Amino acid sequence: MPNSKLIDRCNRKLNYLRISITDRCNLKCIYCVPYDFIPKVPHKEILSYEEILRIVRISVHLGISKVRITGGEPLVRKGVYDFLKRLTKIEGLLDISLTTNGVLLKDNINKIKSAGIKRINISLDTLNRKKFKKITGYDFFNQIWEGIELAQKIGFDPIKINVVPLQGVNDDELQDIAALSIEYPFHIRFIEYMPMGTNQMEIDSHLLFPEIKKRIGQLGKLIPVDKGMNDGPSERFKFESARGEIGFIHPISRHFCNTCNRLRLTASGQLRPCLMSDVQVDLKTPLRKGCSDDELIEVFLKAASLKPSEHNLSVGHSAGVSAQMCAIGG
Ligand code: SAM
């Protein structure tokens, strides 16, 4: 395996590529997209699976060893299961995971498993069916929950559940959601809301890590868990005798830019070195002009060189990113 060649100006080794395979989504979460959001990227401008796989192969030679497939909603893209199968066969990738809203999980979980995906993250911000509809615009709670239970039954481990705590929306449920980690072997990850693009939230809907942790801590003692290889920025805890875990991801109250190891590939073929910056480097144009692998490597190196030392997102202050979260994939 080659050593990482993607080392940025701050000496961070970039070994993690998050790939959005579509900007289409089957939900309209209030913190992610505006009400009237219509995906803008015409199909021909979306990278083909063939193009994505070529990019991944090249990135592996540059030291990328971890890939996450995201969207939009990745499971709405036609042909996704064959794509996943081909992706998991690429040598050198040590960790391949998928982030989904779970709407299509129940009917497709076996296909995801037989494609070779072992780790999935499911986004679920409430345990209340009516509230789910308010947050996402659709009445899919029950089928998502069935999908999660099925994923557990057929052996996905860990199953991570992503929750964005929002003041006045789901903050009354944080303990109930955290308590899932006692009964189920789930890793519940509370992610601070990041204002970006346009969405339906007030900028001050933030609920920050110290307050989230305080409220959840009222349920029982939170015992710190050591970081594992695939943890990323999450701070992990466990309730005594719980089957699962709690994780906190706090890009705002305690940003972790100094350890950020990520690059992001958008569905339209742009490499973004920072989630909270509109800086991006175009991979698609050279790719479609028939460029060599070496030329694509140059694009990767350029993206790495442009990675900002840190983002400037703070409470009540958007980072000024115009791209929608759903176009980048979180
Ligand atoms: N559709 C998939 C899903 O729902 O998991 C993948 C795409 S979604 C953009 C990826 C993750 O980003 C989700 O866990 C979602 O909760 C999170 N997310 C979206 N907008 C966010 C925001 N403004 N702040 C924090 N997390 C956000």
- CATH code of the domain in which 290 resides: 3.20.20.70
Interval 209-231: pLDDT, tens:
999 999 999 999 999 999 876 67
Locate 256 and state its tokens. Answer: 């972790």
CB atoms within 10 A of CB 208: 17
Helices (H) and strands (E) in the chain, counts: 10, 12
Q: Is residue 282 part of a domain?
A: yes
Q: Which of 22, 76, 99 to mutate to test the pocket of ligand 1 (most atoms within 8 A of CB)?
A: 99
Mean pLDDT computed over every residue of the chain: 92
Q: What single DSSP character describes residue 33? A: S
Taking the centre of ligand 1 as the mean of its atom positions, its distance from the CA of residue 228, in whole angstroms, is: 23
Interval 183-212: pLDDT, tens:
999 999 999 998 877 676 766 677 999 999
Q: Is residue 9 part of a domain?
A: no
Average pLDDT over residues 98-107: 98
How far is residue 237's CA from residue 247's CA, in Å, rounded to a whole number? 6
For the chain, what is the domain count? 1
How far is residue 68's CA from residue 97's CA, in Å, rounded to a whole number? 5
Taking the centre of ligand 1 as the mean of its atom positions, its distance from the CA of residue 330, in whole angstroms, is: 5
User: Taking a C-beta distance cutoff of 8 angstroms, is the pair 6, 301 a contact?
Assistant: yes
Q: What pTM, to 2 d.p., does this model score?
A: 0.95
Taking the centre of ligand 1 as the mean of its atom positions, its distance from the CA of residue 65, in whole angstroms, is: 22
How far is residue 223's CA from residue 119's CA, in Å, rounded to a whole number? 24
Average pLDDT over residues 303-307: 96
Average pLDDT over residues 32-52: 86
**Strand order across the 16-20 sheet:** 222-224, 235-239, 245-249, 186-191, 159-163, 119-123, 95-100, 66-70, 16-20, 262-265, 270-272, 281-282
Residue 308 gets the label, from left (phi > 0), alpha (psi -120 to 50) or beta, of beta
Q: Is residue 170 part of a domain?
A: yes
Q: Is residue 47 part of a domain?
A: yes
Residues with CB under 6 A from ligand 1: 25, 31-32, 70-71, 73, 99-101, 123, 162, 164, 191, 193-194, 196, 325-326, 329-330
Taking the centre of ligand 1 as the mean of its atom positions, its distance from the CA of residue 294, in whole angstroms, is: 33
How far is residue 277's CA from residue 313's CA, in Å, rounded to a whole number? 10
User: Taking a C-beta distance cutoff of 8 angstroms, is the pair 165, 208 a contact?
Assistant: no
Atom 13 of ligand 1, nearest CA residue: 123
Locate 85 and state its tokens. Answer: 């199968």
Q: Is residue 140 part of a domain?
A: yes
Q: Which amino acid is at 163?
A: V
**pLDDT score for 315:** 67
Atom 12 of ligand 1, nearest CA residue: 330
* Share of residues in the chain with pLDDT > 70 (%): 93
Q: Is residue 50 part of a domain?
A: yes
**pLDDT of 292 strictly over 80:** yes
User: Taking a C-beta distance cutoff of 8 angstroms, is the pair 58, 88 a contact?
Assistant: no
Q: Is residue 278 part of a domain?
A: yes
Q: Which atom of ligand 1 is nearest to the CA of 201?
A: 23
Taking the centre of ligand 1 as the mean of its atom positions, its distance from the CA of residue 188, in whole angstroms, is: 14
Q: Is residue 111 part of a domain?
A: yes
How far is residue 10's CA from residue 259's CA, in Å, rounded to a whole number? 10
Locate 242 and state its tokens. Answer: 């719980």
Taking the centre of ligand 1 as the mean of its atom positions, its distance from the CA of residue 126, in whole angstroms, is: 14
Angle, in degrees to the nearest 10, between helices 209-217 and 174-183? 60
Locate 80 and state its tokens. Answer: 């996704």
Residue 85, domain extent: 16-328
**pLDDT score for 1:** 47
